[in-house]
Amino acid sequence: MRATRWEATLVLPVSEDRDHIQGPGEAPVTLVEYGDYECPYCGEAYPIVKEIQERMGEQLRFVFRNFPISTAHPHAEFAAEAAEAAAAQGRFWEMHDHLYEHQQRLGVDDLRSYARAIELDLDLFDKEFEEHVHADRVHEDFLSGVRSGVNGTPTFFINGIRHDDPYDFETLLTALNGAIGAGADHGGS
Amino acid sequence: MQATLLPPGTSAPDFALPSTLDGPLGPQDRRGHPLILVFYPADWSPVCTDQLTLYQEIMPEFETHDAALFGISVDGRWSHLAFAKDRNLRFPLLADFEPKGVVARAYGVYRAQDGTSERALFVIDPAGAVSWSYVSPTDVNPGADGILRALEDLAAKGIAR
């Protein structure tokens, strides 16, 4: 029998140019999340990540990539595109947070109202959203996740290695600090 | 004694199992094209659900390799129909129900102690030979990367698209 073992590691390195990033580039540990805005587990992880970021401060770089599973979550794809449209206006994280704080309401009208709430240029948002300008980017994120071994949402990578343990606050914090201790390479870069 | 996982190079046993489509299905129905066989322990259990939902989402990538996917468990056809409808699964689910697990046994992935199959993946080449096989721990969703690599291997060898 052929032994099939592959490392579940991030195949698309974190890029300061491409990715949505919070925290300094020189932080000793990078946490990458592949998430879906309509996924309830991602919704549970959202405040945990916030708390971790608060606790770790400059020690942590956090990256979010799209992994919408439309088969299960009919609004996830458009929500991801809306977040990317916000990113095009330099407001990704405001939209990201807004979406996770309003996960139950992700219809097209809701997305538009969130764009207004965070004061985006609505004409530009509407145009990009209607033309699905950002669909390719969302799909690129999705495929990079598939190839990295993302097997559901949320999937986290710590310094480029898939985190297969639970993502409660203590477990995640311990794993992140452990990665700092191990002095591993930066997030796959 | 537990049979061992059918290794690459062996001929994939043909079978005809009741499916969520109108008629029975087996590997012989897909000869000439790559086929992904996904054995999973049971309909409705959380890990399987994520795994199969993920595969539905990735179907367009599998289809670029001209591959089809069959899910197989020991559940009956009625369970499969309800499960597929509930989870929006559009690939066929096959019922390895009577005699129970006979196809899983033929592929070396039956768990006699549980009365279910392993969580196992096979990629079958257009000629009907196993080109890749993998058993995951039953509580671990194996994702799709291994399948895509196997399909790309076939394409690189000029055996498939």
Which one of B4, B36, B54 would you mutate to disrupt binding with A, by most A Cβ within 10 Å of its Cβ?
B54
Does residue A157 sit within a domain? yes
**pLDDT for res B49:** 63
pLDDT in tens, A119-175: 999 999 999 999 999 999 999 999 999 999 998 999 999 999 999 889 999 999 999
Backbone angles phi, psi at B145, to 5 degrees: -60, -40
Catalytically active residues of B, by annotation: 48
Alpha-carbon span A71 to B58, nearest angstrom: 10
For the entire predicted model, the pTM comes to: 0.90
Alpha-carbon span B111 to B120, nearest angstrom: 11
pLDDT in tens, A83-121: 999 999 999 999 999 999 999 999 999 999 999 999 999
Domain parsing of chain B, residue ranges: 33-156
- Please say if the pLDDT value at position A6 is more than 60: no
Q: Which of residues 82-141 of B touch A (CB under 8 A)?
A: 87-89, 132-134, 140-141
Which residues touch A63 (CB under 8 Å, ≥6 apart)?
Answer: A14, A19, A20, A21, A22, A30, A31, A32, A33, A187
**pLDDT for res A1:** 32
pLDDT in tens, B14-38: 999 999 998 999 999 999 999 999 9
Contact A167, A154 (CB under 8 A): yes
For chain A, the domain total comes to 1
Does residue A42 sit within a domain? yes
Domain range holding A136?
A: 20-178
Domain B33-156 matching CATH 3.40.30.10: the answer reads yes
Look-up of token digits 């390479």:
A185
Q: Which of B56, B57, B148 sits opposite A147 (nearest CB)?
A: B148
Q: Which of A1, A148, A152 sits opposite B141 (nearest CB)?
A: A152
First vs last C-alpha separation in chain B: 38
**pLDDT for res B1:** 40
pLDDT in tens, B62-121: 999 999 999 999 999 999 999 999 999 999 999 999 999 999 999 999 999 999 999 999
Mean residue pLDDT of chain A comes to 93
Confidence of residue B2 (pLDDT cuts 50, 70, 90): low
